[in-house]
Amino acid sequence: MKSSGSRLLLVAPVAALALAAVGVAGTAGTAQAAPTPRPPRGDAVVKATPSLMAPKVAASATAAAPASAKLSLRGQYQSTNYKCVPTSASMSLSTFGVSVSQDTLATKMGTTAAKGTSGNQSLPVMNAYVDPLGYSYGFSNASTASTMMEQVSYDVGVLKRAPVLGVWMEKLPWNAGMSGSKVGHAIIAYGYNKSAGTITVWDPWKPTGGSHTISAAKLAADMQPYGLDKVTAHTDADLASVGDLTGDGTADLAGVDRATGKLWLYPGPKSAASGRSLIGNGGWNGMTELTGIGDLTGDGKPDLIAAQKSDGTLWLYPGGTKALGTRIKIGNGAWNGMKDLTGIGDLTGDGKPDLIAAQKSDGTLWLYPGGTKALGTRIKIGNSGWNGMTKLVGVQDITGDGKSDLIAVRVSEGTLWVYPGASKALGTRKELGSGWGGIRSLTYTGDITGDDKSDLIGVQSNTGVMYVYAGRATGFAARVQLTSGWNG
């Protein structure tokens, strides 16, 4: 029974509870009846750390939520009196298709019998699981019925994910008569009904928990300040540099709005949302691995590549003036078995831009020679181990040998490496820096900083702030904030 806020709520030991899993699948489960243990007092919870706050989601996205929704959920009860946060996190992560036990999460979160778990401990662990999937958790305030319904309906109804809620346990209606004040506890929300004004939650505390339906107003009144671990989709989960589609000589960006499936063009050099234009109607949230590829169609315009999630088909979208042309199939199924697709420039020496991709199953790295509206027979340029790397990005020559290079982040350490480009191969890698694990959507773009060198951009996962890393002869300079709001 510990807080998901930013401070620990100390709870004295009570009798340990046996773990039970109850199939909910859209219907209310029934918790075993048992006397409610006497909970002790807990410390007050302070406002969450600013760096872990959830970004604001656009009103158009929250309005897209249906009138009611309920997720299929396998409910869990916490195995001890101090594992409510890991247990709730385990259930929430299951709605992403992530299977991880409360015990594993408790270990990673540093949960202890004496101090429980804090939100500052739990959020980075949870985000490590969902950031690669294009989502993030962040603290959010839900102190009124309207804000509670708005935020839960977005997570559950639009994103199909269950947020974690930090509540005061003794205030919950099913704990009426419980002694204690400000006893921190974590539950999840997995359903709602707008017309009834209700939220469906799962409480992992076995004596009184299970599935309950509560009014949004009452739930808001029972919340800890900034206690909602809100799920947010990364608008730019498939952010891609597409070259100059606006005709102003500066490379532009394309980004998918996951809530609506629309594809937007953000003109360089500042990529401000105020200047964006629509280049793709709904359906782009069914695509993945967007990457600029250069000109494969021979019309002098840069093109875009994307893979279909459902069947693994690879498509080429010819670039136009602030637009994309009719797509061309350049790869049959199985491309959903590849990851980190990136244009790499010409490594084959035939004057055509090439594509690099890593095989998910065995971690091999492949080079696909560019052709005319097609890709040639692939060439292996890296043995197993590339599934331990992420955020692969093709960049211009930063090693001084006249060949395009590849950069990538090592997952286990968050270090950034450059792999020198060679003739149909890559050279010996060199480390460029550390601390890149919290950066997503790395994208190589044109000259943003005005020094005639192409730059790198990336988004801080927990804040949605976009940074530019100025290109240098042998790497990249310290980052500078470019714009914000890239989480929603």
pLDDT, tens digit (0-9, with 9 covering 90-100), for 139-168: 888 889 998 998 899 899 988 999 999 999
User: Once rounded to an integer, what is the mean pLDDT over residues 75-101?
Assistant: 94
Phi, psi dihedrals of residue 147, rounded to the nearest 5°: -70, -35
Whole-number pLDDT of residue 272: 60
Residue whose C-alpha is closest to residue 143's, from 47, 9, 6, 64: 47
Give pLDDT tens digits for 117-128: 876 788 889 988
Whole-number pLDDT of residue 274: 60
Residue 55, pLDDT > 60, answer no
Residue whose C-alpha is closest to residue 88's, from 234, 220, 218, 227: 227
Contact predicate 225/141, CB 8 Å: yes
Note the pTM of the prediction, 2 decimals.
0.61
Give pLDDT tens digits for 413-464: 889 999 999 999 999 999 998 888 778 778 888 777 888 788 888 887 666 7
| Strands annotated E in 235-286 | 240-243, 252-257, 262-266, 277-280
Structure tokens at 211: 């599935």
More confident residue, 257 or 263: 263
| Strands annotated E in 360-455 | 365-368, 379-382, 389-395, 405-410, 415-419, 421-422, 425-426, 430-433, 439-444
CA 221 to chain centroid: 29
Structure tokens at 252: 């532009």
Contact predicate 318/292, CB 8 Å: no
Q: What is the CATH number that goes with domain 68-233? A: 3.90.70.10
Distance CA(435)–CA(419), nearest Å, equals 18
Domain boundaries, the chain: 68-233, 236-483
Above pLDDT 90, what percent of the chain? 43
Cis peptide before 269 (omega within 30 of 0): yes
Read off the pLDDT band of 76 (50, 70, 90).
Answer: very high
Question: Residue 15 class from Cβ within 10 Å (0-12 exposed, 13-18 middle, 19+ buried)?
Answer: exposed
Distance CA(187)–CA(73), nearest Å, equals 13
User: Once rounded to an integer, what is the mean pLDDT over residues 197-219?
Assistant: 97
Burial readout 341-378 (b: 16 or more C-beta within 10 A, e: otherwise): bbbbbbbbeeebbbbbbbbeeebbbbbbbbeeeebeeb
Whole-number pLDDT of residue 233: 61
More confident residue, 115 or 434: 434
User: DSSP assignment of 128-189, as one string?
Assistant: HHHGGGTEEEEEE---SHHHHHHHHHIIIIIS--PPEEEEEGGGSGGGTT---SS-EEEEEE
Residue 48, pLDDT > 60, answer no
Mean pLDDT over each residue of the chain, to the nearest integer:
81
DSSP assignment letter at 86: H
Highest mean pLDDT among 199-203, 291-295, 330-334: 199-203
Distance CA(123)–CA(5), nearest Å, equals 10
Least confident of 8-17, 207-216, 424-433: 8-17
- CATH topology for 236-483 is Tachylectin-2; Chain A (2.115.10)
Distance CA(187)–CA(164), nearest Å, equals 6
Q: At what angle do helices 102-109 and 119-130 cross, to 10 degrees?
A: 120
One fold for 68-233 and 236-483 = no
Whole-number pLDDT of residue 349: 92
Above pLDDT 70, what percent of the chain? 82
